[in-house]
Amino acid sequence: MSKMVYSFGAGLADGDASMKNLLGGKGANLAEMNKIGLPVPPGFTITTEVCTAFYALGQAYPEGLDAQVQAAMAQIEATVGKGFGDAANPLLVSVRSGARASMPGMMDTVLNLGLNDQTVEGLAAQSDNRRFAFDSYRRFIQMYSNVVLELDHHMFEDILESYKEVNDYSIDTDLQAEDWEKVVVKYKAAVESALGKPFPQNVHDQLWGAVGAVFRSWKNDRAEFYRKMHDIPESWGTAVNVQAMVFGNMGETSATGVAFTRNPSTGERLFYGEYLINAQGEDVVAGIRTPKSITKVQRESMGEAGLSMEEALPEVFQQLVTVYGQLEGHYRDMQDIEFTVERGKLWMLQTRNGKRTAKAALKIAVDMVAEGLITEQEAVMRVDPAALDQLLHPTIAPGAKRDLIAVGLPASPGAAVGEVVFDPDEAEELAKAGKSVILVREETSPEDIHGMHASRAIVTSRGGMTSHAAVVARGMGRPCVSGAGDIRIDEEAGIFKVRGREIRKGEVISVDGSKGEVLYGAVEMEQPELSGDFAALMIWADKVRRLKVRANAETPLDVRTAREFGAEGVGLCRTEHMFFDADRIAAVREMILSETKVGRVLALTKILPMQRQDFVEIFTIMKGLPCTIRLLDPPLHEFLPNSMEDVEAVAAATGLDKARLLERAKELHEVNPMLGHRGCRLGITYPEIYEMQARAIFEAAIAVAKAEGEAPVPEIMIPLVATEKELQILKDRVDAVGREVMDAEGMEIVYMVGTMIELPRAALKADEIARQAAFFSFGTNDLTQTTLGISRDDSGRFMGTYVDQGIFEKDPFVTLDQSGVGDLIKIARDRGRATKADLKLGICGEHGGDPASITFCEKAGLDYVSCSPYRVPIARLAAAQAALA
Ligand code: ADP
Ligand code: MG
Ligand code: MG
């Protein structure tokens, strides 16, 4: 680690955009923008390696850093012709955080550093603007005291508020130079009385104080929570960027703003952003003043009074248009930019690939292919499969009755229904208790993010499209309405008032984030569909995908949804789900509670036609695509009657004695049902159950083949097999039933018998088991339970702690434990294929819809993944990305 500091400025830079790991995203892109000739104030980046070293050394700086920083500072001084700490001609800098991955607002930044009682006079003289100089100084004292000296910012806000009140001022711009001078005196006195020592006047102390604070902010609570949520490793560290200040607060030809090169919510190709005249960067995001639209089109569509930047500063706007065109051409992606205008000159302060909603991601990717900026394959790589989840959830039905209570900005799309809650902690608690909540707040800040995460949607009464709430909600995929200005929250009274109405905490509201509307009550929702940009991207994904994607589905509705979302078959039809229907469960219980084979057969004859009809529907919808049907799997236990009412229903249906039925239910009770009488063990002990199911499958397949002219391909799957012998016995019976039905119907059909691999023994003895199986389907829910010896249904109590302590990187029931369970899958694959080269391999646990697990399945060379119908598009895209990677 010899080079710890990388300079940029005047069109040159030591680093570039490829060096994000070392320089952080902000630093790398500042260097890159310099290199491509954009106007960027000069500065330097202290590397993320220094951050790691800083912590390794117990919060101290590595040797040699001081000299490198001094040299880089001298370079800035030379470029701008000012001196750091020079009383007559002071250089001021910002000290900014910047990690590899963008973590908006999570860490700290200090602006206007280098101001003290002497340099502020120099700045005043030089700029010929005393008001500006002291406005900058008071901002600096507040920020530095908050970030570095860890004093509460309320202290400063209170001083300013009371100063305004005493002097009868209503807004900050009413304050003149002498007012800010007086405020500065008060601020400094407050710092001194809080700390027992004066505000630091030495600019070098200021600089090192700020650098340390930025490094320390890597480990503040907000940053830690954000990292956990976005899987950002703590080991990455943050870089520190020190950069010459440019001033947006120098008067009416100065401004500051943030913008996206395209609309981050819809993806439309429209420059989109907000700005403030005579302000510094923080003001736009902090919600202190309400920012204005940059373009005229945007201003008009928002119905805003006042001028857009396009109208107020037309020349600078033209500079900005040129710059954002250059940026998109160079980065070939939508950019999120920060800029400042100092007396009519534009300066770029940040660019990064903009965060966007899934809808925008799709539109931008598809549009950029049409614009020739990127290829189809790049487009496929641009969309995060997990984010598609946002589009696969309900939206408000077009014809639904809408009782509008408030309107704000459409900050993040999608719709949700939930109970009103005002407090983020309470939101988290209620969500844990299984409630759907909607967080309603004046505005949000980084401290609220746990509560935002726990909420189904977020509503704020203040703030714009780039406010904290809006940005974070889009990132999390939560619908959000921001700046619903009519809402008045009275948290203490537990109500919010809006246009003469009062809504209490706990009342149900609906949020339409796409329209920016808050509606009363639970509004009717509509199911999503695959069309437009989404469909286009899916076609490109399918071109490169190797893994097949099937669905876990058994009801006609689910099977149809799966088909519409592009499933290439059913990977898991759980026949037991069909047993729970109200009109069947009595017959199922009769079968289970029966003490004799005759009794069971009698009950099964009642179930057979219903079961056959289920399969007819599935086969018909799937039109010749493969359908894997799992024979009865769950512990009998799950079907036992739960109440006296249940028992009476069975008694009525069978004429059996209630007391005897109760006794029988007690006999069937199991101590450890998940490892008990279930899966193929049922088939072994009660052969008539599987025989009935096999008969229903064959009869249905032949009926559909005759009716549709296209024969389905049933794949009959035996669950929970541990030994070859189990499978052999059961397969022989299935074959025998098949023979019988085919002979009776006078028609041959193709079918397969295979097994699930969900016990470690089955994986280990896959060579033997493959002798009986045409396919293996990895039932990774059970395989995870049985490999780890952890019950999925009970893991909630400790899994969080396990993940927190890094024992598991992720919950193994969500993302496959690749090193453990994954090894068993590979062993089963190799041993199984050694016996039978064309053994078909798939996965049908929850993991089949998890992008990281799908990547594993691609690498492991499985043939297909199967997941819930709504995850089919996610799996298609994830499989394509895995194939491309
Ligand atoms: P964040 O990552 O929270 O956006 P930044 O480091 O980007 O923090 O800085 C916060 C604000 O200060 C931004 O609006 C940014 O544009 C502004 N800013 C940072 N450095 C400078 C500078 N050298 N001159 C003027 N404004 C700056
Ligand atoms: Mg920034
Ligand atoms: Mg299972």
Higher confidence at residue 354 or residue 641? 354
User: Mean pLDDT throughout 91-97?
Assistant: 97
Counting residues of the chain whose pLDDT is more than 90, the rounded percentage is 74
Lowest average pLDDT, out of 60-69, 82-91, 252-261, 289-298, goes to: 289-298
- Cα angle 199, 71, 57 (rounded to 5 degrees) comes to 65
> Residue type at 82?
K
Which of 23, 109, 112 to mutate for ligand 1's pocket (most ligand atoms within 8 Å of CB)? 109
Backbone angles phi, psi at 260, to 5 degrees: -115, 140
pLDDT band at 139 (very low <50, low <70, confident <90, very high): very high
User: Mean pLDDT throughout 786-793?
Assistant: 91
Q: Which tokens in the block code for residue 42?
A: 């000069």
Backbone angles phi, psi at 789, to 5 degrees: 65, 30
pLDDT at residue number 286: 66
The 10s digit of each residue's pLDDT in 640-684 is: 777 788 888 888 877 888 888 888 888 888 888 889 999 999 999
The 10s digit of each residue's pLDDT in 172-219 is: 888 999 999 999 999 999 999 999 999 999 999 999 999 999 999 999
CA of 1 to the centre of ligand 1 (A): 28
Which residue owns the Cα nearest ligand 1 atom 26? 281
- Average pLDDT value for the chain: 93
Beta-bridge partner residues of 572: 552
**Closest of 101, 355, 352 to residue 233, by C-alpha:** 101
**Distance between CA atoms of 691 and 226, rounded to whole angstroms?**
53
**Counts of helices then strands in the chain (DSSP H, E):** 34, 34
> Residue type at 350?
Q
From the CA of 336, the nearest ligand is 2
pLDDT band at 342 (very low <50, low <70, confident <90, very high): very high
- Count of CB atoms situated within 10 Å of the CB of 564: 14
Assign domain 50-244 to its CATH superfamily: ATP-grasp fold, A domain (3.30.1490.20)
Q: Which one of 3.40.50.12500, 3.50.30.10, 2.40.420.20, 3.40.50.300 gives the CATH number of domain 394-526?
A: 3.50.30.10
User: Mean pLDDT throughout 151-155?
Assistant: 91
Ligand 1: residues with CB < 6 A are 41, 94, 96, 105, 109, 111, 243-246, 281-282, 338, 340, 349-350
- Count of CB atoms situated within 10 Å of the CB of 385: 26
Fold of 545-635+670-884: TIM Barrel (3.20.20)
Backbone angles phi, psi at 570, to 5 degrees: -100, 125
pLDDT at 448 over 80: yes
pLDDT at residue number 578: 79
Q: Is 63 annotated as a binding residue?
A: no
User: Mean pLDDT throughout 803-812?
Assistant: 89
Lowest average pLDDT, out of 9-13, 470-474, 597-601, 812-816, goes to: 470-474
User: Mean pLDDT throughout 22-28?
Assistant: 97
pLDDT at 104 over 80: no
**Distance between CA atoms of 90 and 37, rounded to whole angstroms?**
26
The residues spanned by each domain of the chain are 50-244, 255-356, 394-526, 545-635+670-884
81: left (phi over 0), alpha (psi -120 to 50) or beta: left
Q: What DSSP element (H or E) covers 44?
A: strand 43-46
Burial of 809 (0-12, 13-18, 19+ CB in 10 A): middle
pLDDT band at 637 (very low <50, low <70, confident <90, very high): confident
CA of 109 to the centre of ligand 1 (A): 7
User: Mean pLDDT throughout 118-142?
Assistant: 96
**Residue ranges of E strands in 401-560:** 404-407, 409-412, 415-421, 437-441, 457-460, 480-482, 488-490, 495-498, 501-504, 508-512, 517-520, 525-526, 548-552
CA of 110 to the centre of ligand 2 (A): 12
pLDDT at 470 over 90: no
> Residue type at 569?
G
pLDDT at residue number 475: 65
For residues 107 and 97, is the Cβ–Cβ distance under 8 A?
Answer: yes
Q: Is 630 annotated as a binding residue?
A: yes
pLDDT at residue number 668: 83
pLDDT at 582 over 70: no
From the CA of 257, the nearest ligand is 1
> Residue type at 335?
Q
pLDDT at 846 over 90: no
User: Mean pLDDT throughout 514-537?
Assistant: 90
Looking at mean pLDDT, say which of 229-238, 434-443, 605-614, 761-770 comes out highest: 761-770
Lowest average pLDDT, out of 151-155, 380-384, 839-843, goes to: 151-155
User: Mean pLDDT throughout 842-857?
Assistant: 94
CA of 779 to the centre of ligand 3 (A): 5
Residues annotated catalytic, as ranges: 468, 844
pLDDT at residue number 779: 96
The 10s digit of each residue's pLDDT in 403-440 is: 999 999 988 888 999 999 999 999 988 988 788 999 99
Q: Which one of 3.90.870.30, 2.120.10.30, 3.30.470.20, 3.40.50.2300 gives the CATH number of domain 255-356?
A: 3.30.470.20
Q: Is 660 annotated as a binding residue?
A: no
